[in-house]
Amino acid sequence: MAKLNPLSEANVKNAIQTYLQLGVNQGKWEFIRIQSGNIFLKGGNKTYKIQLAETGYPDFVVFKSRLSKIRKSLVYFLEVKSTKGQITEEQIKMHKRLQAQGCYADVVRSVDEVMEILH
């Protein structure tokens, strides 16, 4: 039997984004894809640095309704890593900040893990 190569982080992100979009299409939740870090744009003789989301911010934010008198919606912050990918110190700090606000924040490595979290 042929050995399967593990998916790259980019491939895992694409698969998760496709799954999340299916959920949007079915009315199960909404989500946004977060880009962090910096981009540089050239304009004339200048280069402009534009900061995107704060370093360490998770890759996806999922907003899901919940039928409950106590809490009507849930927010999930999902950081995507490959099977061998390591979370950075900035990401650990960000997860702690988000969790302190009552949000779910964790690392996911597959669509199956996302399915388990959201259902």
Please count the structural domains in the chain: 1
Query: Which CATH number covers residue 15?
Result: 3.40.1350.10
Within a domain: residue 3?
no
User: pLDDT tens across 104-119, in order?
Assistant: 999 999 999 999 999 8
**Residue 1 domain flag:** no
Q: Does residue 2 belong to any structural domain of this protein?
A: no
Query: Which residues form the domain of 91?
Result: 9-118
Residue 83 in any domain: the answer is yes
Q: Is the pLDDT of residue 69 over 60?
A: no
Report pLDDT digits (tens) over 15-63: 999 999 999 999 999 999 999 888 999 999 999 999 999 999 999 999 9
Q: CB under 8 Å to 54, separation ≥6 — which residues?
A: 36, 94
Average pLDDT over residues 78-104: 95
Q: Which pLDDT belongs to residue 106?
A: 95
Whether 38 maps to a domain, the answer reads: yes
Instruction: Please give the average per-residue pLDDT across 92-99, as a whole number.
Output: 96
Residue 8: band (very low, low, confident or very high) from pLDDT cuts 50, 70, 90: very high
